[in-house]
Copies of this chain bind each other. A is one copy, B any other.
Amino acid sequence: MGIVERRERLKKQVRSDILKTARDIAREDGWQGVSIRKIADIIEYSPPIIYEYFDSKDKLLETIRVDGFYELRGEYDRIKEVYRDPEKQLVEVAQSIWNFSVEKPEVFQVMFNQDGAFVLSKRAYQQELDMTGNPVWEMIARLRPKAGEKVSMTYYEWWCLTYGFISITMTTQPKHAISKMEAIYTEGVRRFIRSIM
């Protein structure tokens, strides 16, 4: 009897529909335009249904944030496997962050509380800034075989350089001008890598 299975499949579907719809609205109208009622309208359920999947709107956005970081982490792990040279690895990481922000700007906004997106908790950042098992931290460590403390500081600089550059670009530049900034970003990243080698 696959009844339970069917129900669970449907639940998973609705859950991901909610997340996808939130992102769709945000991409179109910005996070300011995302409301529980609009999401409910689009997935053709009543608003209270959403609360069976997420405790609150805040938790819903936090899920999107965590998923975003998870996806990026996957990219970093992949890059670490594919390339041997840590310099090349970091350049690739920087590239993949940029691509991510271009392809999923609305997710990037949630990840960094930007442009109308807002999540109260800072929990997601802690894991991201932690060094244990952190692929990017290890790339920098290989590039800079100094004491651990120094590496963590450099890693934090890296974090701010990459995410900061894109954050500021996304919020200050009109959509059509963003792609022109990629070259500056890439050059800045290269300069940074060379300056810590």
Residues of A within 8 A of B (CB): 32, 112-116, 118, 122, 125, 129, 153, 156-157, 159-161, 163-165, 167-169, 171-174, 181, 184-185, 187-188, 191-192, 194-196
CA distance A121 to B92 in the complex (A): 33
CA distance A115 to B165 in the complex (A): 17
Residues of chain B lying within 8 A (CB to CB) of residue A173:
122, 125
CA distance A122 to B172 in the complex (A): 6
A181-B168 contact in complex given A115-B113, A161-B161, A174-B122, C-beta closer than 8 Å: no
Nearest Cβ on chain B to A27's Cβ, whole angstroms = 16
Q: Is the CB of B116 within 8 A of A114?
A: no
A164-B171 contact in complex given A115-B113, A118-B116, A184-B153, C-beta closer than 8 Å: no
Nearest Cβ on chain B to A177's Cβ, whole angstroms = 10
Closest B residue to A183 by beta carbon equals B153
Q: Is the CB of B169 within 8 A of A160?
A: yes
A160-B156 contact in complex given A112-B171, A114-B113, A115-B118, C-beta closer than 8 Å: no
CA distance A196 to B188 in the complex (A): 10
Nearest Cβ on chain B to A12's Cβ, whole angstroms = 31
Q: Is the CB of A161 within 8 A of B174?
A: no
A195-B191 contact in complex given A169-B160, A172-B129, A174-B122, C-beta closer than 8 Å: yes
Residues of chain B lying within 8 A (CB to CB) of residue A160:
164-165, 168-169, 184-185, 188
6 contacts between A and B (CB under 8 A): A115-B118, A122-B173, A161-B161, A167-B167, A191-B195, A192-B192
Query: Apart from A157-B187, A195-B195, what 8 extra A-B contacts exist at CB < 8 Å?
Result: A113-B116, A113-B171, A125-B172, A157-B165, A164-B167, A191-B196, A192-B195, A194-B195
Residues of chain B lying within 8 A (CB to CB) of residue A191:
192, 195-196
Residues of chain B lying within 8 A (CB to CB) of residue A116:
113, 118
List 4 tightest A-B contacts by C-beta distance, closest first. A164-B164, A125-B172, A160-B165, A116-B118
